[in-house]
Each structure stands twice: as C-alpha cells, then as structure tokens.
Chain A
Amino acid sequence: MSAVQNNWTGAKTLVDPRVPIRWGAFYVAEFRIRNMLKWLSAIIAFGLGNPVLYLLSIGVGIGSMVKQQIDGVPYLTFLAPALLATAAIQGAMDEVTFPTIEGFVWTRVFYSMNNTAISSKQIVDGVMISAITRCFLQVLLYELILALFGAVPLGSIAVLTIASLLAGWGFAALMLSVTVFIKDDDGFFAIVGRFILTPMFMFSGTYFPLTALPIWLQWIGWISPVWHATDLGRALSYGHKIEPWLLVVHVVYLAVLGVIGMLTAYPQFKKRLAE
C-alpha cells in the first residue's frame, strides 16, 4: 500500500470549489510569477541595463549635442517620461504575449490549468495580474535610475507610476486580445515587432516632440498608446503644458484600450479553451 492510498480522503471533502472560484486568478498569477522567477537574473539585468543604456547613450550622449532646451526643460528631462512609458509598455507586453503563446501552443499549460477549477476568465486575469506586477517593479526600478540621473522630479514619481501602469495595462490588454488568435509560432511576432511596434516607438514623440514631424506622420502618434502615455507622463513629470481636455483624452484612450482588450480577450480565451 502506498501513502497515496492510505491517506486518501477524496476531493469531495478535500477541495472546496468556492476557494478556487474566488481566488483562482491569483493562483494563476502565482504560477506565472514562479515561472518569471526562473528568469529573474535576465529580468533584472534587462530592467537595470536598459534604462542605463538609454540614459547614457541617448539622454547624456545625444543630449549633450542638444544645447537648447526642449519644451522648456533639458533634453534628459524631456526624454525621461518617454523612456519610462516605453519600458512600462514593453515590460507588460512581454509578460502577456509570450505566456499566452506558451499557454496555448508551446506547453499548452492553459489547457492544464483549465482542467482544474480554474476558469478561462481567471487565466486572463491571472496573466494580467502577473504582467502588471512585473510592470510595476520595472517602473519602480526605472524611476529610481531616472531619479539618480536627476531626470525626473521626485515629487512626480507617484503619479508617474500610476500613469505608467495604466499605459502598460492598456497596451498589454490589447496585445492579449490579439495573441490569443495565434495558432502556432508562425513569425507573427517578427511581423508585429518590425511593422507595428518599432514604428510605434519611433514615431510617438519619444526622442523629439511629435509636432516636429510632418503632419502626415503625426497620426502614428495620435493612435499610438506610447504617445498618449508619453505626453501624459511629460505633463505629470515636469509640467509639460497641455490642454486639460487632452489630459483627459490620454487617460481615457489608455483606459479604453485596456477595457476593449480585456473584453475581447475573455470570450476568445473561453472559446479557444472550450473547443
């Protein structure tokens, strides 16, 4: 007789379904974070190295060439909120896209979660909770380094964090609702990366004001979550002057992206898992 037999009580008394029905999303997040920890050194190296590299090369290097003030502040101060928004979006996006392909295609781990008490909605929520957790830590680290470079006013860090998380969530939700359609690793990300993400990061007023571009290129910024997050960040950080209505537009735009993304992802996850 093995211990499994001797100690068998049975699910009927052992498992109370109300517990996972209430907390399942956090169990999924716990699983994702345990997974992330396997990559901890890479995540930290990236989280630390990326801002340092950008700040040194573009902020300090290119910044030294830019003698005049931009938007009434030194170039580094102008650049910092944009780098922060970009990092938040990138970090949150990575933690929803790769896990989703992994969950449906590579290891099919979403299917094994769904064989337990976990629902499709809890998988979506759990993946998002873990992505936002990672995003939050990355943003904090970034802000710390920005503060060390004197690139961001200390008083603005709290609001900047909230704005960055909003941007990360909005874009990650959007990516979640797209990634769920990937049937196999068919180079989709190479295409998205080259033709959507790269132009989005280049033309969103990151390194220069969006208005410096000809009007026929500015639309990329208007639809880009990176620009909305960047412009919002500048207003919150060093008091970049924008119309109050535009401030509202930025927040609403990012929030709407998030809501649409989540509301699209829920039924698609459900459908794909129930096939």
Chain B
Amino acid sequence: MSEIKEEIMIRAKGLRKTYGDFVAVDGIDFEVKKGESFGLLGPNGAGKSTTMRMISSTSLRSGGELEILGKDPNLFGPEIRAHLGVVPQQDNLDRELKVWENLMTYGRFFGLKGKWLKAKVDELLEFAQLEEKRNTKTDELSGGMKRRLTIARGLVNEPEIFMLDEPTTGLDPQARHILWDRLFRLKEVGVTLVITTHYMDEAEQLCDRLVVMDKGKIMAEGSPADLIKRYSSKEVLEVRFGSENNKSAAEQLKGVGDRLEVLPDRILVYSANGEKALEYITKLGLHPITSLVRRSSLEDVFLRLTGRTLVD
C-alpha cells in the first residue's frame, strides 16, 4: 500500500505561554491531522483554554513553534483565522442584536456577502434548532440556546478547523447529546475538530485522539481506548466503607486487584474482573456499604497520571 501523506492542520512544538512568572502552558508538543477530532482533557487551570486561544491565532505564544494550516499565527493571524471557527468558553454574543443579526454580522467579518449570508443564516438556525428564536434578542435566550447560537455562529465561514472550548459546560444532558450529534455531522463533512473538556464521557464520545493535560504539561496522548488500556485496568470496583473506615479497610485490601486508589469517600480497586475482586473482598470478611463494578474511564487514567480527580 502506498503511503498517503496526511495533511497536518496543527503542529505545536515546545509551545509555551507565560503570564509574568506564571507558566500557563509549559512546552507542549502535538499534531492534529485533517478530519481528526482532537481533544484536550484536563481539570480547570490545566492550560487547555490558553492552548486553544493560541491555536485560534489570537493569543500570541511566549515560546516554541506553532503552525496552523501551514502558517505561523504570529505572522498570518487574519489569514489563518479566516478559515477557523471558534467557540469560546464564555459566550460573547451581542446583546443588542437579534439572533439572526448575530449570525449575519459575524459572517460579514469574514467578508461574506449579505445575499449569500441570508441563506446561510437560515441553514444555521435550522442546525442550531433556533428557527423560532430568529427575531429574539440574545439576552432573552436560555443558556443552552446561547451556547447553540455561539456554536452555529462559529460555523458561518464553514471552517476547516472548528475549535470548541468547553462546549457543553452548563448544558443539560439532553442538550449535550444534541450537540454531540451535531459535531459528528460536521466530522462527516471533513471538518477537523479541536475540543477541550473536563468531562471524560464527552472526550470518550467525541475524540479520536486526545492529550491529557495537567499544570500546563501533556501527561499522556492517545485514543480514549488506548489510554484506558495503557493506564488502567479493564474494570474498576468502587467500594465504600464510610469515610471513617475507608483507610483501615484499604490496609486490608492491599494486594486485591492490580492497583488501589484510596479517595476520601471511596476506594477504587483496579482489576480485570471487578465481580471476582468483590467476591474476594467479601471472603476477607469485609462488608462495604455500597459496591459498584464499572468499566474503566478516562477519569481513571487521569487519576493514575496525576493522583487527582478531574472535577474537584
């Protein structure tokens, strides 16, 4: 088979961002290929948003190399941004303008013609399920609607790379699933997605490949399944003995499963077979108040890598 040269959309090497003495992003390397859905996973303050803003070619890097769509954002910011779609963490819609006007004016910033935009605005309103809110001022929209509008707005120029910073924070479960569905559809037309999130289920659902970030550094990189395989066991047994007894119970559990993780409220037993581990624990004469066997998730990967949970 001949090797097909894949188009690299984003290339970062030793990328750094500092604010005075504070190092927000501490020399990270990664590449994103065309059509890929790439995730930055990490807790608040890990440097995800800062990285996003450097990729979106607005925030200037303090060091290292960065290439977006083959160009250096320090030199070709507007050229690059003309082909990007950005959904910032904080909605920044215009309050005075109506829903459709927000889409229209945003499209104008790319130099798109009014007549073409008129049709595009209709498409986007349908995509975001906001047709009925067309003439509403954005102030009167619910949080979820604002989020959907911000996302639709980012698509007005049909971007090559679509970047979403914490796209579903503050959305209810149903709204999150609708959004995920929309993002899958974009992937189908070949849009490259870059997503930050601190929800591991979102990362597992959406990302082909992701990096786990903590304190400005990349801790691990791979597909969700790959990371789980590498850093966790197949299953996890969660047992609770009550906050008083967790510690002493943990002493007795030593040696059960591949690994133990003692959290303030529960003990995680990493094992290929959770049920078997639970049987064994019961045989030891220990009786957890509650027990739960589940599959390993990215949360476990993060815990393993950093010793902390994702959502504190």
Report A's interface with B, CB cutoff 8 A: 1-5, 7-12, 14-17, 19-21, 23-24, 27-28, 30-31, 34-35, 38-39, 106-109, 111-119, 273-275
Contact = CB atoms under 8 A, between A and B. Distances in A.
The 9 A-B residue pairs whose C-beta atoms are closest, nearest first, are A19-B111, A116-B109, A17-B82, A117-B82, A11-B83, A108-B92, A115-B86, A20-B111, A3-B123
B160 A5 contact: no
Given A112-B88, A117-B110, A274-B60, A15 B82 contact: yes
A23 B56 CA distance: 21
B97 interface: yes
B106 interface: yes
B109 A117 contact: yes
Interface in B79-133: 79, 81-84, 86, 88, 90, 92-97, 101, 105-106, 108-112, 122-124, 126-127
B16 to A, nearest CB: 15
A121 to B, nearest CB: 10
Interface string B135-173: 000000000000000000111011110000000000000
A11 B124 CA distance: 15
A31 B108 contact: yes
B306 interface: no
Given A3-B123, A35-B96, A117-B109, A20 B82 contact: yes
B105 A3 contact: no
A107 B105 contact: no
B111 A10 contact: no
Contacts of A35: 94, 96-97
B77 interface: yes
Contacts of B291: none
A118 B82 CA distance: 8
Contacts of B160: 10-12
B252 to A, nearest CB: 52
B59 A274 contact: yes
Contacts of B304: none
B188 interface: yes
Interface in B47-83: 56, 58-60, 77-79, 81-83
B188 A5 contact: yes
- Count chain B CB atoms within 10 A of each CB in A21, A38, A273 and give the residue with the most: A38
B108 A119 contact: no
Contacts of B110: 11, 15, 19-20, 116-117
Contacts of B78: 17, 20-21, 24, 117-119
A119 B109 contact: no
Contacts of A111: 58, 88, 92
Contact of A117 (B94, B111, B155): B111
Nearest to A28: B109
A119 B77 contact: yes
Nearest to A16: B111
A146 to B, nearest CB: 31
A14 B109 contact: no
Nearest to B60: A274
B157 A2 contact: no
Given A111-B88, A115-B56, A116-B82, A34 B105 contact: yes
Given A2-B127, A27-B109, A107 B95 contact: yes
B174 to A, nearest CB: 18
Given A2-B127, A31-B109, A107-B92, 17 more contacts: A5-B185, A15-B110, A15-B111, A20-B110, A20-B111, A27-B109, A34-B105, A35-B96, A38-B97, A109-B92, A111-B88, A111-B92, A115-B81, A116-B81, A119-B77, A275-B19, A275-B59
B1 interface: no
A48 to B, nearest CB: 22
B83 A15 contact: yes
Contacts of A106: 95
A207 B106 CA distance: 46
